[in-house]
Structure 1
Amino acid sequence: MADIIVPELAESITEGTIAQWLKQPGDTVEKGEFIVELETDKVNVEVISEEAGVVSELLAAEGDTVQVGQVIARVGEGSGSATPSPSTETEAPPAAAPVEETKSAPVAVETTSEQERTIASPAARKLAREKGINLSEISPVDPMGRVRVQDVSAHGTAPAPKAAPAPAAAVSQEDDGRFTREKMSRRRQTIASRLLEVRQSTAMLTTFNEIDMTNVMALRSRKKDKFFDDHDVRLGFMSFFTKAVVAALKKYPYVNSQIDGDYIVKNNFYDIGIAVSTEGGLVVPIVRDADRKNFAEIEDNIGQLAKKARDNKLALSDMAGGSFTITNGGVFGSLLSTPILNGTQVGILGMHTIQKRPIAVGDEIQIRPMMYVALSYDHRVIDGKDSVGFLKMVKELLESPEDLMLNS
């Protein structure tokens, strides 16, 4: 008999959630074969069986929170029914590896007979077990036949478990029909708690400026075709902002620091986090040593990290550390915002949408493509002089992009 244990995932991760069992009791499992998918606050991982045999019991259900080191299943000797494995590896992989999350809800198979199989999401299976409902008796709304939580909730053939009596004035959300309750994913819960912690534990202020994007846009338009031919990567705005931020961080080193007890730790490296929006929430992969990379290397690095983020293939190492963060709300049309600090960092730059506005240029009024930028910073470390100076330098560098490219 071998125990399946939640492995050590990372120094900061102590628990996870059972996202999906890839094997069920009675299924045959090979040594090194994936048996369960865990969702953590950063990435999803698949856990393997260290022994070959038959799954004898599952000690945690899908949706349960489990701790590192906890026994969640057991594998015994013998042979059982074989089920398809998501892994095609011929060699045993590590105990935990990043996996791809599909954009739709994960599906599992509920077998009622050798010929009849019901497709259902893990959440629907769990709810059906709680209500004592046979999945094969449910008529799903999904034309593909997938049973979802709504189908289980709407199924009235089995009595629902008794709930605690509600106050007389309360209206049942399920009966009322005006509300939809959705449990926050572990990642969303972590994002929420960390953002709240930052707001409560820092003296965060935000200063603003605006950048005339005329010269950046003109330079990009002139150089983009040759840049792509030379480097096989597109020239975007993020490389300009990253290089401008690095130059400003070198002049204002306290913006590139963090607090450690009674000490201010100034980072002598420039690992720039680039915030990326995914279906699971905002993630911040890191462009390492951005000061040592040219424009093409930065664009290529950002493109690869963004693709991994969208495909849910980011590893913990892709997001660990970071000395400063850039977030671009402009891709969603945001005109102005106050970004929240990322973890222990003391500064974050918010980019916004480019909008044509009338601007005084000398004694004339001209229509220029303008972008508001915002620097949120921890006032415990950074004074107004440094914060305003940092943002002003970023503005000046981006308004003279030829110098920025020549000096990089």
Structure 2
Amino acid sequence: MAEIKVPELAESITEGSIAQWVKKVGDRVEKGEFIVELETDKVNAEIISEEAGVLTQILAEEGDTVLVGQVIAVVEAGEGAAPAPVAAAPVEAAPAPAAPAPVAAAPVVVETSGERVIASPAARKLAREKGIDLAAVSPVDPQGRVRVQDVAAHGTAPVAAPQAAPAAPKAVAAVDESRVTIEKMSRRRQTIAKRLLEVKQSTAMLTTFNEVDMTNVMALRSRKKDQFFESTGSKLGFMSFFTKAVVAALKKYPYVNAQISGDEIHLNNFFDIGVAVSTEEGLVVPVVRDADRKNFAEIEDSIADLAKKARDKKLGLADLSGGSFTITNGGVFGSLMSTPIMNGTQAGILGMHSIKKRPVEVNGEVEIRPMMYLALSYDHRIIDGKDSVGFLKTVKELLENPEDLLLNS
């Protein structure tokens, strides 16, 4: 028999949520086979079985919060499928025999009627908290399993110990389901919300703007993209130009590449550039390592690889940690101007936007040019206005003279 436990993923991750069970009770499992997907604050992790056999118990349902080291399933040696009764009630199985304290491992059931009820661990926990008799809950599941949603919908009920019940139930406004759809925030969305709020509350964030004439970058890209692809096998996009321009500007204005730690300023002597990528679960910021040492093709390849891993939910913790500055491109969604929020402990973030043709003055004449607004949000505690404006002006000048970027790379 082998217990499937939540593995240690990183020092900062202590819990996660069951996102999806790939296997069900009774299925044959091979050694090293992926059986369940775990969602954490940062990444989705695939948990495998260390032994071959039959999945006989599932001890946590999809959506349940689980801790690192917690047993979530049991695989037993065998060739055939597990008996049907086991599959019919996966959560009813007793704790694994190897557990040192089986009574503590299994949740106490609030069932004053004495009737045995099939229910998820989360439903049992909520029933204990609310003092609800599970036997009185009407499940939506046609097989009769009580889920946490059923308990929540049931409301409060009297318990065996009256003193545990609140003196007066809280007034809850009725929700018209035809007018409002309620969905629980994913763990990642909760983390994104929490961290963005922390940045807003713990930094002196300001945003400065400029605009860049994209004529020369677009013309150079148009002339060279076919030759670039033939010689490198990579597509020449705009992100490599922006990344190179940002690195050059960070070298000129090092405090934009810094962070605060207590009463110290840590000036980073490396250039790991985070590139914001939108996924179905929310925004993630994988990092292009040592961007100053990469050429245009290497930067394009790194960004394309990270974006694909993000969409496929294959990003690892190493892909997301340690960035020194971030670039985000709201222009791909049509944004004309925005004030991006800094990422984590970084001191700055550059916002790109849509390219729009606008009338501008060129050598005393009015011309229609493809223009993009740039936004630099920065921590005013360590970056003065002079440096922030100078940084953005440097990025602008390099992009308007892209041959300089190619020569310097």
TM-score, normalised to structure 2, is: 0.78
Q: 1:132 aligns with which of 129, 135, 139?
A: 139
Tell me how far 1:135 sits from its aligned partner: 4.2
Determine if the alignment matches structure 1 residue 18 to structure 2 residue 18.
yes
2:100 match: none
1:163 match: 155
Q: Which amino acid is the alignment partner of residue 240 of structure 1? A: F
Contact 1:131 1:161 in 2 (8 A): no
Tell me how far 1:187 sits from its aligned partner: 1.1
Deviations 1:153-196 (A, max 9, x none): 9xxxx99952247748x33333xx10000111111111111111
2:288 match: 287
Q: Which amino acid is the alignment partner of residue 200 of structure 2? A: R
1:368 match: 369
Aligned sequence identity (%): 74
Task: Report the Cα distance in structure 2 between the residues aligned to 1:298 and 1:231, rounded to whole angstroms.
Answer: 12
Task: Report the Cα distance in structure 1 between the residues aligned to 2:223 and 2:46, rounded to whole angstroms.
Answer: 47
Deviations 1:187-223 (A, max 9, x none): 1111111111111111111000011111111111111
Contact 1:256 1:347 in 2 (8 A): yes
Task: Report the Cα distance in structure 1 between the residues aligned to 2:339 and 2:74, rounded to whole angstroms.
Answer: 49
1:172 match: 175
Structure 2 CA distance for partners of 1:207 and 1:160, relative to 1, 3 Å: closer
Task: Report the Cα distance in structure 1 between the residues aligned to 2:54 and 2:226, rounded to whole angstroms.
Answer: 58
1:112 match: none
Task: Report the Cα distance in structure 2 between the residues aligned to 1:313 and 1:159, rounded to whole angstroms.
Answer: 35
Task: Report the Cα distance in structure 2 between the residues aligned to 1:28 and 1:404, rounded to whole angstroms.
Answer: 56
1:210 match: 211
1:71-82 matched pairs, under 5 angstroms:
71-78=71-78, 80-81=80-81
Task: Report the Cα distance in structure 1 between the residues aligned to 2:75 and 2:143, rounded to whole angstroms.
Answer: 28
Determine if the alignment matches structure 1 residue 61 to structure 2 residue 64.
no
Structure 2 CA distance for partners of 1:226 and 1:131, relative to 1, 3 Å: farther
Contact 2:35 2:49 in 1 (8 A): yes
Q: Which amino acid is the alignment partner of residue 8 of structure 2? A: E
Structure 2 CA distance for partners of 1:28 and 1:300, relative to 1, 3 Å: closer
Contact 2:56 2:82 in 1 (8 A): no
Task: Report the Cα distance in structure 2 between the residues aligned to 1:167 and 1:67, rounded to whole angstroms.
Answer: 33
Contact 2:55 2:82 in 1 (8 A): no
SS at match of 1:299: helix
1:99-114 matched pairs, under 5 angstroms:
none
1:29 match: 29
Task: Report the Cα distance in structure 1 between the residues aligned to 2:74 and 2:314, rounded to whole angstroms.
Answer: 28
Deviations 1:50-86 (A, max 9, x none): 3344434322221011111122223345555179xxx
Q: Which amino acid is the alignment partner of residue 51 of structure 2? A: E
Structure 2 CA distance for partners of 1:299 and 1:131, relative to 1, 3 Å: farther
Task: Report the Cα distance in structure 1 between the residues aligned to 2:184 and 2:82, rounded to whole angstroms.
Answer: 33
Tell me how far 1:36 sits from its aligned partner: 2.0
Contact 2:205 2:380 in 1 (8 A): yes
Deviations 1:288-340 (A, max 9, x none): 11111111111121112112222222222211211110000011110000000
2:165 match: none
Task: Report the Cα distance in structure 2 between the residues aligned to 1:21 and 1:403, rounded to whole angstroms.
Answer: 52
Q: Which amino acid is the alignment partner of residue 384 of structure 1? A: G
Determine if the alignment matches structure 1 residue 239 to structure 2 residue 246.
no
Task: Report the Cα distance in structure 2 between the residues aligned to 1:235 and 1:161, rounded to whole angstroms.
Answer: 54
Tell me how far 1:5 sits from its aligned partner: 1.4
- State which drifts further: 257-266 or 21-30: 21-30
Task: Report the Cα distance in structure 1 between the residues aligned to 2:74 and 2:213, rounded to whole angstroms.
Answer: 63
Task: Report the Cα distance in structure 1 between the residues aligned to 2:282 and 2:299, rounded to whole angstroms.
Answer: 23
SS at match of 1:365: strand
Any unmatched runs of 5+ in structure 1? 84-128, 138-148
Task: Report the Cα distance in structure 1 between the residues aligned to 2:406 and 2:354, rounded to whole angstroms.
Answer: 23
Contact 1:352 1:372 in 2 (8 A): yes
SS at match of 1:173: coil
Contact 2:54 2:82 in 1 (8 A): no
Structure 2 CA distance for partners of 1:188 and 1:366, relative to 1, 3 Å: same
Any unmatched runs of 5+ in structure 2? 84-134, 157-168
SS at match of 1:181: coil
Task: Report the Cα distance in structure 1 between the residues aligned to 2:307 and 2:30, rounded to whole angstroms.
Answer: 34
Contact 1:131 1:160 in 2 (8 A): no
Task: Report the Cα distance in structure 1 between the residues aligned to 2:23 and 2:220, rounded to whole angstroms.
Answer: 55
TM-score, normalised to structure 1, is: 0.78
Structure 2 CA distance for partners of 1:29 and 1:208, relative to 1, 3 Å: same
Between the two proteins, the alignment pairs up a number of residues equal to 343
2:350 match: 349
- State which drifts further: 40-49 or 177-186: 40-49
1:178-217 matched pairs, under 5 angstroms:
178-217=179-218
Task: Report the Cα distance in structure 2 between the residues aligned to 1:136 and 1:7, rounded to whole angstroms.
Answer: 32
Tell me how far 1:276 sits from its aligned partner: 0.8
1:320 match: 321
Contact 2:209 2:376 in 1 (8 A): yes
RMSD: 2.6
SS at match of 1:81: coil
Task: Report the Cα distance in structure 1 between the residues aligned to 2:141 and 2:216, rounded to whole angstroms.
Answer: 65
Contact 1:330 1:353 in 2 (8 A): yes
